[in-house]
């Protein structure tokens, strides 16, 4: 089954593109069929239906009822392995 | 032989940015060890971004422009130049002839400053080098002197990295982002203004006790905070105010909603094309300077925009910026392209006020006032840049709050163009004054962070 992942940042241009590429790469490596929805943080609410995971590139504290893992490590390069493991856990589980 | 090469280069340059930069990026990517097919794809994506942007900016000017003008005439306003925002300004900057040189120059300035221990900020945010490039591109367009353009990039870059150092304690104190900072052309540059207001409000009895924070506004506003709805409403309202009937006002609303939705999708193509390059640069820089105990990693302000006070302030400032645009003396700009991302201007200001929205309202208003005023001065410059890069044909004026409203871009270019010297001195004076408060604020917050860490260490001992 295709998993929908929302990847978002402030303007849906710079950092979310980097994070989205990383998520796709991780899923490809692990044979997970994934659909990326790239948007602005203010648009998360409208894209929620069917989403398995939200990856914002900043710290979002609001609860959307969907697992949320911050993708900041993909941008800074610090702690990316841990984030990768956390994302896999959600998408495989 | 040499003339043949130089003729070839001129031939390619004359075909315009949508051809030249893709070729340059593809060649650089191949040199960095990226596969030929992928490199060509990267180059083409950048070209796609340029072509798409030209379509959308022209559509916006053709539709919103006349409506804004008609509205202004009916109500005695002067808001006839449409703000294309950062989604419009950044591709123009990447398309300028200075852009390919600007990336190595900006990274080089960073490396030299790190080597000389003049900064602790390691900027790995290649995308936002466009802000530094913008100063250079504008100065180059205005003066026609390539080296003045490069000097503009150097100065903007150097100040950015210093501001990165300055805001690092606030990143740790308010956003809990240890070892990270945001040396960004808008957020970092505008925040010193907030430091003055913070110090001022601290001194006023009564006002200094007010502390408002709102987490729930975002949920209450819901879809009204989304770009598509903002574009739709703004387009329709401007249409009606212009005296259009529903058959003209509603299509304008839908078109402007389309601009808001499509613009980032188009600009994303350029980011996609720059990805192999920026990932490689990031890899090299973090390998050498990745130690966050010694260095601050410089990132995109996107990492700040999840904070609920920043989100709330960004929403409040959508109508507020429009209101401010009405009262700035002589303002010609109708804020539009930047409206959905006003947070970029005030994100660090929120941290200066420790999330106190009451104070952010004052300092944010001052920031937007100054931005709009400066952006008015840069209208002819930006219009010239958009014409030089082939984005528009130069017949309709364009403006951009982000980065056309940047004090450093303005001061630097004005030094060479000298068409409004009193204006330059006023802005320079205000900015230097604000910087003193910024340095004080940074030191104070660094001391607070340290005191808290010491207290925690004692508790644990």
CB A56 within 8 A of CB A68: yes
What CATH number does residue A26 fall under?
Answer: 3.40.50.2300
Number of CB pairs < 8 Å for A and B? Answer: 116
A79 part of contact set with chain B, CB < 8 Å: no
Cα B338–chain centre separation = 9
Q: Which residue of A has its CA nearest to B292?
A: A78
| pLDDT recorded at residue B416 | 94
- The domain of A23 spans 3-92
Selecting from A13, A14, A45 the residue whose C-beta is nearest the C-beta of B222 gives: A45
Nearest to B282 by CA among B127, B141, B132: B127
> What integer pLDDT is reported at residue B350 of this predicted model?
95
Tell me the pTM: 0.87
Burial (Cβ within 10 Å: 0-12, 13-18, ≥19) of residue B59: middle
Q: Are B334 and B81 in contact (CB under 8 A)?
A: yes
- Full DSSP string of B414-446: HHHH-S-HHHHHHHHHHHHHHHHHHHHHHHHHH
- Nearest Cα neighbor of B132 from B112, B162, B152 is B152
CB atoms within 10 A of CB B63: 21
**Tokens 């005296």, residue located:** B243
Q: Compute the residue count for chain A.
A: 93
Across the strands, what pairs with B330? none
- Using a CB-CB cut-off of 8 Å, the residues of chain B touching A43 are 226-228
Q: Give the CA count within 13 Å in the CB-facing half-sphere of B337.
A: 30
Residue B2: the pLDDT is 66
Catalytic residue among A8, A9, A27, A37: A9
ipTM of the complex: 0.80
Residues on chain A touching B268 (C-beta within 8 angstroms)? 12-13, 17, 38
Q: Do A77 and B282 touch (CB under 8 A)?
A: yes
The values of phi and psi at residue B122, to 5°, are -110, 105
DSSP string, B206-232: TGGG-----SSHHHHHGGGGSHHHHHH
Q: Where are the beta strands (DSSP E) in chain A?
A: 3-9, 34-40, 51-56
Residue of B nearest to A59 (CA): B306
Nearest to B306 among A12, A45, A60 (CB): A60
Across the strands, what pairs with A34? A3
Q: Are B241 and B74 in contact (CB under 8 A)?
A: yes
Total count of residues recorded for chain B:
461
Measured between beta carbons, which residues in chain B are less than 8 angstroms from residue A38?
Answer: 268
CB of A17 within 8 Å of a chain B CB? The answer is: yes
Decide if A64 touches B, using CB distance below 8 A: no
Cross-chain residue pair A58–B306, CB shorter than 8 Å: yes
Domain count, chain A: 1
Contact B225 A42 (CB under 8 A): yes
Q: Which residues of chain B are within 8 Å of residue A9 when distances are taken between CB atoms?
A: 300, 302, 305
- Identify the band that residue A78 occupies on the pLDDT scale cut at 50, 70 and 90: confident
Residue A14 touches chain B, beta carbons under 8 Å: yes
Per residue of chain B (461 residues), what is the pLDDT tens digit?
A: 667 877 876 777 677 777 878 888 888 888 878 889 988 998 899 889 888 888 888 888 889 989 988 998 898 888 989 999 999 999 999 988 888 889 889 999 999 999 999 999 999 888 899 999 999 999 999 999 999 999 999 999 999 999 999 999 999 999 988 888 999 999 999 999 999 999 999 999 999 999 887 767 777 777 888 889 989 999 999 999 999 999 999 999 999 999 988 888 888 888 888 888 888 888 888 888 877 778 999 999 888 888 888 988 988 999 999 999 999 999 999 999 998 889 899 999 999 999 999 999 999 999 999 999 999 999 999 999 999 988 888 888 999 999 999 999 999 999 999 989 999 999 999 999 999 999 999 999 999 999 988 888 888 77
The alpha carbon of residue B207 and the mean position of all alpha carbons in its chain are separated, in whole angstroms, by 31
| Per-residue pLDDT at B14 | 72
Environment class of B320 (CB within 10 Å of its CB; exposed 0-12, middle 13-18, buried 19+):
middle
Q: What is the pLDDT of residues A15-35, one digit of tens each?
A: 999 999 999 999 999 999 999
| CA distance linking residue B348 with residue B232, whole number of Å | 29
C-beta atoms of A76 and B299 within 8 A: yes
d(CA B50, CA B391): 8
**Domain segments of chain B: what residues?**
2-460
Give the HSE-up count for residue B162: Cα atoms under 13 Å, Cβ half-sphere: 13
Dihedral, CA of residue B371, residue B377, residue B379 and residue B384, to nearest 10? -130
Give the chain A residue whose CA is nearest to the CA of B228: A43
Q: Which helix (H) or strand (E) holds B123?
A: strand B121-123
The Cβ of residue A3 has, within 10 Å, a number of other Cβ atoms equal to 18
Dmax over CA atoms of chain A, in Å, equals 31
User: Is A27 noted as a catalytic residue in this protein?
Assistant: no
């Amino acid at each position: 089954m295709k998993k929908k992942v929302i990847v978002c940042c402030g303007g849906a241009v710079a950092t979310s593109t980097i994070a989205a590429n990383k998520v796709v790469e991780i899923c490809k490596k692990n044979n997970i069929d994934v659909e990326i929805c790239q948007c602005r943080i203010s648009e998360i609410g409208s894209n929620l239906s069917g989403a398995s995971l939200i990856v914002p590139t900043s710290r979002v504290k609001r609860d959307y009822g969907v697992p949320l893992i911050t993708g900041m490590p993909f941008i800074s390069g610090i702690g990316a392995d841990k984030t990768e493991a956390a994302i896999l856990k959600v998408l495989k589980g | 032989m040499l003339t043949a090469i130089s003729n070839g280069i001129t031939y390619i340059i004359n075909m315009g940015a949508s051809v030249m930069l893709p070729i340059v990026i593809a060649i650089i990517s191949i040199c960095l060890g990226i596969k030929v097919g992928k490199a060509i794809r990267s180059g083409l994506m950048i070209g796609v971004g340029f072509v798409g942007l030209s379509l959308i900016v022209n559509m916006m000017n053709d539709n919103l422009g006349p409506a804004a003008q008609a509205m202004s005439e009916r109500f005695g306003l002067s808001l006839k130049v449409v703000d294309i925002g950062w989604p419009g300004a950044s591709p123009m900057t990447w398309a300028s002839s200075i852009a390919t040189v600007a990336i190595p120059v900006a990274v080089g300035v960073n490396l030299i400053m790190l080597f000389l221990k003049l900064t602790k900020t390691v900027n790995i945010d290649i995308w936002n080098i466009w802000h530094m490039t913008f100063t250079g591109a504008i100065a180059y367009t205005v003066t026609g002197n390539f080296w003045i353009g490069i000097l503009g990039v150097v100065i903007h870059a150097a100040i950015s990295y210093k501001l990165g150092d300055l805001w690092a304690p606030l990143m740790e104190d308010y956003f809990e982002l240890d070892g990270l900072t945001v040396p960004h052309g808008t957020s970092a540059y505008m925040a010193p203004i907030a430091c003055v207001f913070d110090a001022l409000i601290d001194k006023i009895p009564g006002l200094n006790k007010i502390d408002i924070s709102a987490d729930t506004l975002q949920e209450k506003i819901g879809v009204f905070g989304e770009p598509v709805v903002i574009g739709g409403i703004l387009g329709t309202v401007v249409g009606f105010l212009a005296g259009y009937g529903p058959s003209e006002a509603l299509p304008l609303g839908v078109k402007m909603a389309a601009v808001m939705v499509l613009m980032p999708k188009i600009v994303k193509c350029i980011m996609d094309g720059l990805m192999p390059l920026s990932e490689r640069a990031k890899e090299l820089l973090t390998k050498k300077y990745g130690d966050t105990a010694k260095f601050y990693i410089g990132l995109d302000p996107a990492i700040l925009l999840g904070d609920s006070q920043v989100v709330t302030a960004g929403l409040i400032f959508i109508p507020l910026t429009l209101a401010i645009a009405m009262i700035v003396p002589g303002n010609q700009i109708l804020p539009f392209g930047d409206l959905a991302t006003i947070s970029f201007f005030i994100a660090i200001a929120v941290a200066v006020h420790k999330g106190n929205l009451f104070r952010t309202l004052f300092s944010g208003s001052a920031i937007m006032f100054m931005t709009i005023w400066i952006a008015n001065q840069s209208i002819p410059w930006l219009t010239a840049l958009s014409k030089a890069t082939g984005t528009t044909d130069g017949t309709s004026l364009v403006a951009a709050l982000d980065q056309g409203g940047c004090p450093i871009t303005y001061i630097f270019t004005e030094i060479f163009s000298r068409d409004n010297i009193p204006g330059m001195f006023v802005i320079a004076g205000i900015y230097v004054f604000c910087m003193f408060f910024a340095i004080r604020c940074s030191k104070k917050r660094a001391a607070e962070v340290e005191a808290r860490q010491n207290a925690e260490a004692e508790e644990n001992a």
